[in-house]
Amino acid sequence: MKFHRLLALTLLTTIGLTTPALAEDLERVYQLTSTRECPACDLSRASFVLSDLSETNLAGANLAEANLNRTNLTNANLAGANLSRAILFNANLTGADLRGADLRGADLREAYLTGANLDGALLDGANLLGAVGLPQTIATPEQMYVWGLAEYQRENFRGAINYYNQALNAKPDFAHALLARGVSRFRMRDFNGALQDARSAEQLYLTQSNPEGHQISGQFIAGIEALQEAQAQGDRRASGAGGGNFMNFLGSITGLLFRFLF
């Protein structure tokens, strides 16, 4: 028996916490960290915060409510694992096998899922906000758009643009995402980028017979052009914050962007 396992068992015995169930749990944790093999193990509520569990075999394991915050699970075998209500915030699941895994209610915010196999995985109630590399079968362009709006509301404009980009990569004619990205670019003072997005959205709305979207994008274009003209003339008061009336108009656009989807 290696020293660190013996020490852990000794400490647990000393403070009177050793029970057959606890000792068994400790053995399973040791088995996983030492052999990287623990298929069908019961590791529910176990904590592996910041652990390196890359390429481990946890197929069919019970990891319900486990704390895997920022854990490295690159290329791990989690097929059929129970990860319901597990904390996987900022976990690295790149290339992980999650086929048939139960991820209902799991916290997957900002997790890395590039190349992960999620075929048949249960994701009802999972929090995927900020997750990277989600396949289109999991996150539709419309879902990406909603997440982008949520980031915009938090004034995380760069994060919002990232979601709109993903939505547009999957659905290039998504006019709402184009207009929303333009608004975020404007808030980041990328006026040329905002104008380009607004003009593209205006054309798409015209093609898609959406008069409301066409009108709003046209008003947005006019506001940006007026702001740029004021800047060219050196009117700092008009250009410094975008003008009070125009900023109020931006607020109304945001409300409409939420309503557009529904």
Tens of pLDDT, residue by residue, the chain (262 residues)? 444 444 344 433 433 444 555 555 567 677 787 889 999 999 999 999 999 999 999 999 999 999 999 999 999 999 999 999 999 999 999 999 999 999 999 999 999 999 999 999 999 888 888 888 888 778 888 888 988 998 898 899 998 998 899 899 989 999 999 999 999 999 999 999 999 999 999 999 999 999 999 999 999 999 899 888 887 887 655 545 455 566 666 666 766 676 665 5
Residue pair 67/46 in contact (Cβ under 8 Å)? The answer is yes
Fold classification of 37-135 is Pectate Lyase C-like (2.160.20)
Return d(Cα 198, Cα 213) in angstroms, integer: 10
Return d(Cα 73, Cα 84) in angstroms, integer: 16
By the 10 Å C-beta count (0-12 exposed, 13-18 middle, 19+ buried), 39 is classed as: middle
Return d(Cα 111, Cα 113) in angstroms, integer: 6
Domain 141-261 has CATH 1.25.40: yes
Return d(Cα 47, Cα 28) in angstroms, integer: 12
All CATH 2.160.20.80 domain ranges in the chain, comma separated: 37-135
Return d(Cα 50, Cα 67) in angstroms, integer: 10
pTM recorded for the entire structure: 0.65
Bin 168: left if φ > 0, else alpha if -120 < ψ < 50, else beta.
alpha
